[in-house]
Structure 1
């Protein structure tokens, strides 16, 4: 029997294990890269995919960019610009806080990053394969960052084998893209799949306008604005009238401090607000933004940051339930008043400390069906709000 049975894993193996926690499919990589762009202050984000994201994921932005040293360091495990000490974990204020997503993605792909700060004369290009930096050079580019991820999971064939069909992976990417776009209406987004434009979303003036851009004017015209602000918790957003219901919960979107999450407390509060108002077995449409003190919610409970834990779940449930239920009691107000919903994570900072979980379904172009397709013909000639391409190669495929 060997003297030692416990040993330290090689760095490459450890990186691939970490990648499995953070990047389970191409959509996970897309989400992480877009969130990094938003944290960098981007006002415009473009996403390009080929082969369902397995062949290529390219995310470009006009954010702050990085220096040569930071660009190289960003590909190392546990490198981050967003956390300095353990105390920071109790009040996360950024989206991509883990600090290892980029390194994890690089460890299972061929990655090329180009980045430039506005103050720098030239940009820097870093090429890496399986997490190892192969080349660095200067490059000409506009301020911002562009990251290309090619042949995702090329060195982990078992992970590659478990990817689903191209249509399913494209649909998952579109769904992740939609959630982020809905939560950031002041940012312009573009998604292209295999050379075809799926979404082209200019900056919107309101949450309702962005909702219309993404999901079409028919359902948008049936949404009611709600807003309830109580000490420590604010619930605001859009909820469908009781005349609208759906066979599944795919039209329910929930966000906490600007982060898309899956939380049973939130989904139960929304569903119960519609109890007795829609037929049993049917589900509402809702876009919910919960803003609260960062220290009152733990977002570090899941590797992909899609789950949260509330310090006082009962209070959160109560605010969400009454915000929607009370709004449904009077459905006569025109939905066009929904222009002041603040979806930014910074809104939670306004909740002074001294004052007294959600199944996100797969929403793709095809699953939007007649609503989104009708939106393309329903827009007035002067309407600058585009809608998803109805002929995009996306369809809903159950996972």
Structure 2
């Protein structure tokens, strides 16, 4: 994209903080890159020869996340999936994505949410996920979450925000509850496994320490006598 404001000089002059605007562009394209992993994104800053960020075409979502957000994020992700067809309420949707585990530590929540392949925000879903992380993990670490939700177009209300970035869903409470339950289940299972492994390592270490500290045992006890032949 070049010369975006070639015929809107007044609009261009209102953009006072170019560094802040560039950061917002990077944030947007990062999110687009991990969802559209069949497309390569490259974005250099104006006047720069080398791209600041470059995403690669990949068949794996994890590889796309790794190329954009780094190995430290990608190695601490767990797959989540929810599929529902609730005939009694008309609640039909599918969700798949990745959530960070208990080893991931961050100060700010990153929620990359696509609904029907459109990048959007859902404040209620974000709050529900943060509540699960705060209640499940020992530390109040903020999560990384990528989710793609597909549901009938008529079940999405895009007219609740002037920029169309915030959406509301039909049967939103049911959808959020099911997604929240899946996230909580994954976190608890992962946390239980981690606790078991830590206890196992502690037991092995304490056993080795005990063996090193114990005095060597003579093959003959004090009550036994040697017999000459």
Q: Given the two structures, how large is their TM-score scaled by the length of structure 1? A: 0.43
Aligned pairs, how many? 183
Contact 1:235 1:319 in 2 (8 A): no
User: C-alpha separation between the residues in 1 aligned to 2:143 and 2:184?
Assistant: 12
Query: Does 2:20 match 1:160?
Result: no
Query: Does 2:56 match 1:197?
Result: no
User: Residues 14-42 of structure 1: CA distance to partner in whole angstroms, max 9, x if unpaired?
Assistant: xxxxxxxxxxxxxxxxxxxxxxxxxxxxx
Cα gap change, 1:216 to 1:280, in 2 (>3 Å): closer
Question: Which of residues 74, 98, 118 in structure 2 aligns to 1:220?
Answer: 74
**Higher Cα Rg, which structure:** 2
User: C-alpha separation between the residues in 2 aligned to 1:262 and 1:310?
Assistant: 11
Contact 1:245 1:282 in 2 (8 A): yes
Compute the displacement of 1:242 (Å).
1.7
User: Residues 214-272 of structure 1: CA distance to partner in whole angstroms, max 9, x if unpaired?
Assistant: 001121001011111111122211111123232122x2222211211121121022112
Aligned with 1:321: secondary structure?
helix
Contact 1:233 1:319 in 2 (8 A): no
User: C-alpha separation between the residues in 1 aligned to 2:165 and 2:138?
Assistant: 29
Contact 2:156 2:167 in 1 (8 A): yes
Cα gap change, 1:236 to 1:310, in 2 (>3 Å): same
Structure of higher RCO (CA pairs closer than 8 Å, 6+ residues apart): 1
Contact 2:134 2:140 in 1 (8 A): no
User: C-alpha separation between the residues in 2 aligned to 1:280 and 1:224?
Assistant: 18
Compute the displacement of 1:276 (Å).
2.3
Contact 1:228 1:236 in 2 (8 A): yes
Compute the displacement of 1:329 (Å).
2.5
Counterpart of 1:242?
A: 102
Counterpart of 1:254?
A: 113
> Which structure has greater helix proportion?
2
Contact 1:245 1:285 in 2 (8 A): no
**Consecutive aligned runs of 4 or more in structure 1 exceeding 6 Å deviation:** none
User: C-alpha separation between the residues in 2 aligned to 1:211 and 1:280?
Assistant: 24
Contact 2:115 2:150 in 1 (8 A): yes
User: C-alpha separation between the residues in 2 aligned to 1:327 and 1:281?
Assistant: 17
